[in-house]
Amino acid sequence: MHKADRLESFLVFIVVTVLLCLCSIWLLSHNYVNEFAMSRWAKVLSVLDSPEIRIEHLGLIYPHFPVYILMPFYYLPGLDSGAAPYFASLLVGAILIGTWNFHLAEKKYSLRVRILLILFVCSHPFFLWGVLTGAQHALSLLMFYWLYLALVRLVNVQDVRSFIMVGLALALYFFIDERTFYLFIALLPLISIIAPQRMLSESTSSVYLIIAAPLAISVASWAYLNWIFHDDAGLFLSSADSSFRGVWQDTPHVDWLRAYGGDFIVPTLVTGLYALLAYPVLLWLLYHAKRHRILLGSTLVLLLHPVVASGLATGNYFLSHPMDMIFLFSAGIMAGVVLIPRETRRARISLILLLALSSVTAWFVFPWYQTTDMQRWRTAVMGESLQDTSPGDIELGLWLKQNRQLTLLDDKAAYRVIVARGDARHLVLPFSSEYKVNLKYQWPKIEQIAVSEPGYVHDGQDYLNQRFPELYANGMPGYTLVYDYMHWRVYRRLSMRAGT
């Protein structure tokens, strides 16, 4: 690539980053927050502000790579307010768009056509939701883009290295997104569409073994860490609050699971219809791929893969909404446009028009079975200010920011508090030995204790309420109530001398 082309690609990346930043600022200015983003940022603050940084302090019941991506932002000024997850997410989204622009330039697409393609992909609500929620969705989009490129390389080159690349992509995916299990299982029956028939006829098991081995190693290494630190290799799969188990605990509150949970065929069909309405451009890819025998199989895999994965995840009460899988089509379409040979001017115009149509129709299907987070995100996009979901947590965080005594606190209930406070210094949290020692005493020996109202944590009581069930209501000897507001109380030790 010439120097002018590299400069052009860099400028595209900068412009996309700025535009996504403005979109994120718009959402945050209307009080949109994502619970997942807050909990992961609270974990970063908790671990990096602790006296010693250890991997087990992060917990082993969710993929770690999104947290590692966030850690460098801890050291940047101005991001302690909780904006870091959103900035990191949109930056990954901009990297994806910049990569796509680079590949389109290699295919000799003009700058004007590339700008139009990028405009309509970025204006699709599923793409925007993926890169602006502050969750791991942007990383998942980037990985799905490379996974699909690896699958097409398998179709084109048909060598063992191609299978290894697909396997390695899935192995890395496991450390990014807990949906990897369902994407992997959904891919297994589709391998026969794209794998060389010669290799399948000679040794079918070898084909699947090459693809599955890297992912199996990733899962085994994670199980080993769970065994080393928690004496339970399957903790990341059995723990009630593990993200690898999805939203099964919230089934009574999730419209999609109430309608289709436990089934496979019906949610798969509904998801397929949902995908076609949200992405009519998929028909363009299928039509133009059929003239290229090698690409037809991979395009069929692209059409079926997220849909089948959504059906599997719904059947296992994992998925809160089909869009949690269908948004991956944004990355798949980008890869498909790159891999299909550059078409005629009329075909490019029809592609741009169908991308524009997709951006419109997706807004109409977005509210179907929407989750609370989707509803709040859409409301903020429309310019309506949202009410704070947990004003009591914010107030406590601001109070603790001013009253920085050594405080016993459970981050399971208080991750919003930690984000509002801006740091976790002088907080004694469950992963620390000091926290565990204090819970062994009949009465803790610490300056302050912040405790939530029993039942405030919807998926169970926090550790402090379990250990001291009367603490919130009655306090404890040697402590006085110094803060009482909206589900939170803080008790301070009457004698502030350490160790007394």
Q: Tell me: the pLDDT tens digits for 144-157?
A: 999 888 887 777 77
d(Cα 152, Cα 296) in Å, to the nearest integer?
10
Residue among 447, 291, 267, 286 at smallest CA distance from 354: 286
- Establish if 230 belongs to a structural domain: no
Residues 413 and 440 in one domain: yes
d(Cα 471, Cα 318) in Å, to the nearest integer?
35
Entry pTM: 0.91
Instruction: Give the range among 54-58, 172-176, 285-289, 424-428 with minimum mean pLDDT.
Output: 54-58
Question: Residue 483 is part of which domain span?
Answer: 391-493
Residues 78 and 192 in one domain: yes
User: H or E segment at 445?
Assistant: none
Inter-residue contact 256 to 320 (CB < 8 Å) = yes
Q: Which long-range contacts (CB under 8 A, 24 or more apart) does 358-363 make?
A: 358/120, 358/124, 358/278, 358/279, 358/280, 358/281, 359/120, 359/123, 359/124, 359/125, 361/277, 361/278, 361/280, 362/124, 362/125, 362/126, 362/277, 362/278, 362/279, 363/125
d(Cα 183, Cα 373) in Å, to the nearest integer?
23
- Establish if 275 belongs to a structural domain: yes
- Establish if 45 belongs to a structural domain: yes
> Beta 407-408 vs 448-452: how paired, if at all?
parallel
Helix axes 345-365 and 265-278, enclosed angle (nearest 10): 120
Q: Give yes or no for residue 14 having a pLDDT over 80.
A: yes
> What is the pLDDT at residue 175?
93
Report residue 96's pLDDT band, with 50, 70 and 90 as the boundaries. Answer: very high
Inter-residue contact 461 to 455 (CB < 8 Å) = yes
Torsions phi, psi for 119 (to 5 deg): -60, -45
Residues 345 and 457 in one domain: no
- Distance from the Cα of residue 80 to its chain's centroid: 20
Inter-residue contact 467 to 408 (CB < 8 Å) = no
Residue among 350, 344, 364 at smallest CA distance from 281: 350
Residues 370 and 417 in one domain: no
- Establish if 96 belongs to a structural domain: yes
Residues 396 and 370 in one domain: no
> What is the pLDDT at residue 3?
67
> What is the pLDDT at residue 252?
86
Better pLDDT: 206 or 280: 280
Overall domain count for the chain? 2
Tokens of 283: 């028909």
Residues 365 and 467 in one domain: no
Residues 253 and 121 in one domain: yes
> What is the pLDDT at residue 298?
78
Q: Give yes or no for residue 401 having a pLDDT over 50.
A: yes
In the block, tokens 């084109």 appear at 156
Residues 306 and 425 in one domain: no
Residues 149 and 270 in one domain: yes
Beta bridge partner(s), residue 485 = 488
- Domain end position, chosen among 314, 347, 381: 381
pLDDT, average across residues 42-47: 90
- Domain end position, chosen among 334, 358, 381: 381
Q: Give yes or no for residue 89 having a pLDDT over 80.
A: yes
Instruction: Give the range among 57-71, 301-315, 356-370, 460-474 with minimum mean pLDDT.
Output: 460-474
Torsions phi, psi for 488 (to 5 deg): -130, 140
Beta bridge partner(s), residue 479 = 493
pLDDT, average across residues 54-83: 83
- Domain end position, chosen among 354, 381, 408: 381
Burial of 227 (0-12, 13-18, 19+ CB in 10 A): middle
Inter-residue contact 61 to 242 (CB < 8 Å) = yes
Which residues have a Cβ under 8 Å from the Cβ of 346 and sit 6 or more positions away?
none
How confident is the model over 247-285, as pLDDT tens digits?
A: 888 888 889 999 999 999 999 999 999 999 999 999 998
Torsions phi, psi for 237 (to 5 deg): -105, -25
- Establish if 386 belongs to a structural domain: no
pLDDT, average across residues 53-76: 85
3-class SS of residue 108:
coil
> What is the pLDDT at residue 328?
94
pLDDT, average across residues 36-54: 87
- DSSP letter at 453 equals P
Whole-number average pLDDT of the chain: 88
Residue among 239, 238, 257, 235 at smallest CA distance from 248: 257
Report residue 460's pLDDT band, with 50, 70 and 90 as the boundaries. Answer: low
- Establish if 31 belongs to a structural domain: yes
- Establish if 100 belongs to a structural domain: yes
> What is the pLDDT at residue 497?
43
d(Cα 12, Cα 5) in Å, to the nearest integer?
11
Residues 377 and 407 in one domain: no
Inter-residue contact 295 to 155 (CB < 8 Å) = yes
Q: Percentage of residues in the chain with pLDDT exceeding 70?
A: 95
Between CA 338 and CA 348, with CA 343 as vertex, the angle to 5 degrees is 85
Between CA 461 and CA 472, with CA 466 as vertex, the angle to 5 degrees is 80
Q: Percentage of residues in the chain with pLDDT exceeding 90?
A: 50
Residues 370 and 423 in one domain: no
- Establish if 319 belongs to a structural domain: yes
Residues 312 and 346 in one domain: yes
Inter-residue contact 215 to 180 (CB < 8 Å) = yes
